[in-house]
Amino acid sequence: MKTIKTHPLHEVIEEGIRDGIAAALKRHRLLGEKVAVWKDGRVQVLSVDELDLDENGYPRHANGANNGSPATDNC
For 28-57, how does the pLDDT look when each residue is reduced to its tens digit (9 = 90+)?
Answer: 999 999 999 888 899 999 999 998 888 888
pLDDT band at 11 (very low <50, low <70, confident <90, very high): confident
Tally the domains of the chain: 1
Q: Which amino acid is at 12?
A: V
Please give the distance of CA 69 from its chain centroid, rounded to a whole number.
Answer: 6
pTM equals 0.64
DSSP string, 8-37: -HHHHHHHHHHHHHHHHHHHHHHHT-EEEE
Instruction: Please provide the distance, in angstroms rounded to a whole number, between the alpha carbons at the two ends of the chain.
Output: 45
Domain region containing 17? 1-75
Beta bridge partners of 58: none
